[in-house]
Chain A
């Protein structure tokens, strides 16, 4: 049944409500919000003089009203130990979202911890320790001294390579500059941890090594550029669902032609038209639908490529652009190297490409035209190129990424207004850490190490391998076995005898056991296997800095208390360092103890000043106070100065034609096609009927950690959906809402059938990283040479298990907006 809140009125923030800057916790776009909070016993009124907006709320508000807040934007929380009303609503004055909220950001308030409202009440509130055969609440001192003592003993016996770390490296909640610095300082400075991995993949590596090697950072333009581009070239991405307000607030105006005035003003000598858009995606996504609605079908080219063949398309586009003489000769001569070699190696005819990619030759030629045909003599097009997981987690990551960057350099679509060659991104960014060169390249394949029985202690920070790894069934099986060995050992000794506990743990470890510590905000599947679980604070419960997809740095302010004794991750890292110092002192190793000094932080701001302020490019100009004054618009990194009132930032990178290489030139790269690169995939493709593509859905943020607990989302997706063509459904005899098993040579997983009229036959799409049906179960362990997984191109068979719970209350009507009405 359709969930209804039954709420038909909301409290009104009084005139003197506290107003703070918030950046949305969730996706890379980092939309600006404002938090209004006020005493629980007070209420504002509808008269303009009685409420925080200064508006007459007794009247119906206009369309796009800056004062509208939905029930999901309201909650009751604790602030400085007192209950307050809270509204978190989008900020009209933020240039990122101009007052828009997405379905995810619109429930920032509703996803906060509230004992009054009953939201997120299973947040972790106190440290938990495995004792008396279950997770028991305990104190920070108790939990951290156990972790520190076992960590020390592991280092003494096996060195630092005995420690395995899984940690966030991004911005937004479960990350941010404070927390990446806190963990970074602990693991890369106090220690030199080599066996470390990132939250969504099994190694500590970049998802875009190629473009970085070629001299181009992956976030190099401004959201403004999407408003100014002549053409948007979008590869393996679905911005309406994944970068929603970037798409709505910056792409759509250009597609509609409402930015023409601005284009003419900025480039008076050029010809202008509303943007054209090319979307390379095997699926017809809602983004394609929305682009067609806004720009007209004639201005949208959807290249429904054969999965995994993007590299061939990029090479063919490059070949065609150069053959037509549309390349940027001067720029290539002055600012790049390796053009001729790359051209020779990568040359791919339109005909060959059409065969491999399954696209029509005319469409490839049309794409080349839209990307690079000059608007008139000496008027090169401005094409913004962007990509995300379809390319990153598709086939042959390094080479495919390089092939796209080649096309960008050949057409000089970087460093100019209306251009850029960028990731669209998932999370916000917030990386500042001591150098991690010791990790090496290729980095350790951490999940395989754990499977092989290596590693003695595992520190986990807001990461869940159980949901987001490949070869996940085997991983979970081994992980549970190894951590169970330690649990049984702990159960055999009374807890109060600390020395005996640590000895018992060490004995179990020597026999192949693994001691495991999980830092998170909510109970997670992997956390159940752990011996110590530590409660972290999240955005809103601490001050947190991050940057978005256009490098826009903001301070998202603390507006409520963390639940129970939860702490910001940076302070957990600091307290762990303090305990490690004590532990080594106690063991008489004062030399090692010293390495854990420098963690006397009391507030997250201390971590910011120690990390970002001292170590980030331009960080010396930035303080909390200065950032707070910059509001929800913040400043674009790198920061290059402070004029006494405002921080001065950088709108786009590489405007001077100098790139991030030793010789400052952009380096072309050879990128030859070698078929499906991950071992075994070609055979799998022949053996199984369905491609199981996967990715995100608009409504669900990341691994659904909050959304599982939100009735409004749960009613739509009680289980992860798998989108299928109705003919495929008929073929295997399944109906909408059926629970199915997806199985192949690697493993099996489950999902709920969701009919999709315009899905291609034989190609399904499943939600990635759901706790209730992990795609990783059917993804083999093979990666590319830099340990980048190919999560996307897997094949499997599907069979019916039964009916998904609640399926009969779900509407399975088409997702697409009906453009004909």
Chain B
């Protein structure tokens, strides 16, 4: 269901960086002792998702990020959020692959949650994708966003591992 066979031209080939030991340690504490060459964080593409004009409050639009095979939503929630963007700081974006087993999440506009029909996991879009109930040991990957002066909304990162990948940016 999630194999949307589009081209992968949005995926930027990852850039293999070698961190100095200190760099690795500060970037991601659990992996301090990984061998040199182990990248602490992957490099993300900057991808245009939509324009401000496209967004209606509480009506999510489907997006794909960081590539065509990774579905998500972009939503304007109508309330200022600590990591929201836009003039009202109320725009956020999330992966919609459930981190448990990859079922597609469904938006419930009544309480602004993303819900998994697989095994009932629920995530709060107003709180960085915090899992309210469920089977996952992580909250929902949230995409970091920025706006340009034309009102175009771009994603340029993710804060958790996306379902079904060993790396958020595929190496294919």
Contacts and interface: CB of A to CB of B under 8 A. Distances in A.
B168 A65 contact: no
14 contacts: A2-B139, A4-B159, A5-B160, A10-B161, A10-B166, A10-B167, A12-B166, A40-B33, A57-B166, A60-B164, A61-B102, A62-B3, A106-B135, A117-B31
A72 B137 contact: yes
Given A40-B33, A72-B138, A7 B160 contact: yes
B41 interface: yes
Given A71-B138, A244-B135, A46 B119 contact: no
Given A43-B35, A102-B135, 11 more contacts: A6-B28, A6-B159, A10-B166, A11-B166, A59-B170, A70-B138, A71-B161, A117-B31, A290-B120, A293-B120, A814-B111
Interface string A798-821: 000000000001110111111001
Contact of B171 (A6, A46, A72, A118): A46
Interface of B: 1-3, 28-35, 38-39, 41-42, 69-70, 82, 99-103, 106-108, 110-111, 113, 115, 117-120, 122, 124, 126-139, 142, 158-172
Interface in A49-76: 56-65, 68, 70-73, 76
Contacts of B111: 813-814, 818
Interface string A484-508: 0000000000000000000000000
Interface string A21-50: 000000000000000000011010010000
Interface in A97-132: 100-103, 106-107, 110, 116-118
A4 B136 contact: no
Interface string A231-246: 0000000001000100
A253 interface: no
B166 A2 contact: no
Given A1-B128, A60-B165, A818-B115, A116 B102 contact: no
Nearest to B110: A818
B3 A60 contact: yes
A573 B134 CA distance: 39
Contacts of B171: 46, 58
B135 A815 contact: no
Given A2-B129, A60-B170, A68-B164, A240 B120 contact: yes
Given A2-B139, A103-B137, A821 B115 contact: yes
A9 interface: yes
Contacts of B82: 1
Most buried by A among B42, B99, B100, B117: B100
B113 A7 contact: no
Interface of A: 1-12, 40-41, 43, 46, 56-65, 68, 70-73, 76, 83, 100-103, 106-107, 110, 116-118, 240, 244, 248, 286, 289-290, 293, 698, 712, 715-716, 809-811, 813-818, 821
Given A43-B38, A62-B3, A107-B137, A8 B30 contact: no
Closest 7 interchain pairs by CB?
Answer: A72-B137, A61-B164, A58-B172, A2-B128, A9-B167, A60-B69, A811-B124
Contacts of A83: 33
B35 A41 contact: yes
A248 B122 CA distance: 16
Contact of A815 (B2, B103, B132): B132
Contacts of B138: 4-5, 70-72, 712
B133 to A, nearest CB: 4
Contacts of B170: 58-60
Given A4-B159, A11-B38, A102-B135, A817 B122 contact: yes
A62 B69 CA distance: 10
B28 A286 contact: no
Given A63-B1, A106-B135, A811-B132, A70 B164 contact: no
A700 to B, nearest CB: 12
A59 B3 CA distance: 10
Most buried by A among B33, B122, B139, B161: B161
A40 B126 CA distance: 39
